[in-house]
Amino acid sequence: MFNTDAKVISELSKSSPKYTLATLIFTNGTIRTKLYRMMADMTEVKKKGSKATCLNNTSKNRAYKYIQKNYRYLHSVIHSDYMTTAEKMADLMEIPNIGPAKAGFILQMCIGEVGCIDCHNRNMFNIDIKDITLSKPAKLATKLKISQNYIKLCEELGGTEFLWDNWCEFIAGEYPTKFKDAQDVSKLHVDAIVSVAGK
């Protein structure tokens, strides 16, 4: 799953800022939202932009507008050959509404590193989040330290591929009426991102 779908997203993101933009919009959309809603939400965002009802939440709307304004810069950060992964995470956490988990999710999809330690993973692995929680605004040194702790934790849990595949298996089991299997969960990420990127 990771080796097919996440790699497709990574290749798309590297090929064009428009796919990085779509990945950032998708990531923002997944916050406190069930994954199975994302195709409908991304279709609405594609049509209505910041006026989409799925962006009625103030934090999501602010993030969406920030992403639209800064996505080319964020694309250059994500695909930089001169920045560490922790530095990339720190820059991504400048996006309103994006903390360590979603910054890690963006890098998981765009460059195949880190991962998303969301509420499901926190419960599954009984994670104490005090060392990976960021209160904004934060100084760069604080963001880098949190990022380093977060990256280390992802590695200790099994790495980005394991985190992706394991999460997809879990979600497929949680929502059997919404997904055929874990592959279906994984593929939805690609489909949603491609749908909002458009032609």
DSSP for 130-193, please give it.
GGG--PSS--HHHHHHHHHHHHHHHHHHTHHHHHHHHHHHHHHHH-TTT-SSHHHHHHHHHHHH
Please give the pLDDT value at position 199.
Answer: 53
- Residue 160: pLDDT band with limits 50, 70, 90: very high
- Residue 129: pLDDT band with limits 50, 70, 90: confident
Please give the pLDDT value at position 64.
Answer: 97
Residue 139, Ramachandran bin (φ over 0: left; ψ between -120 and 50: alpha; else beta): beta
- 186: nearest Cα among 96, 198, 170: 170
Please give the pLDDT value at position 182.
Answer: 97
% of the chain at pLDDT higher than 90? 85
Contacts (Cβ under 8 Å, ≥6 apart) of 195: 39, 42, 43, 46
169, pLDDT greater than 80: yes
126, pLDDT greater than 60: yes
| Total of domains in the chain | 1
Place of tokens 């304004």: 69
- Residue 148 sits in which domain range? 2-197
- Residue 196: pLDDT band with limits 50, 70, 90: confident
- 31-70 pLDDT tens trace: 999 999 999 999 999 999 999 999 998 999 999 999 999 9
- 6-17 pLDDT tens trace: 999 999 999 999
Please give the pLDDT value at position 119.
Answer: 86
% of the chain at pLDDT higher than 70? 99
- Which residue type is seen at 79? H
Please give the pLDDT value at position 132.
Answer: 85
When pLDDT is averaged across residues 140-159 and rounded to a whole number, the result is 94
172, pLDDT greater than 80: yes
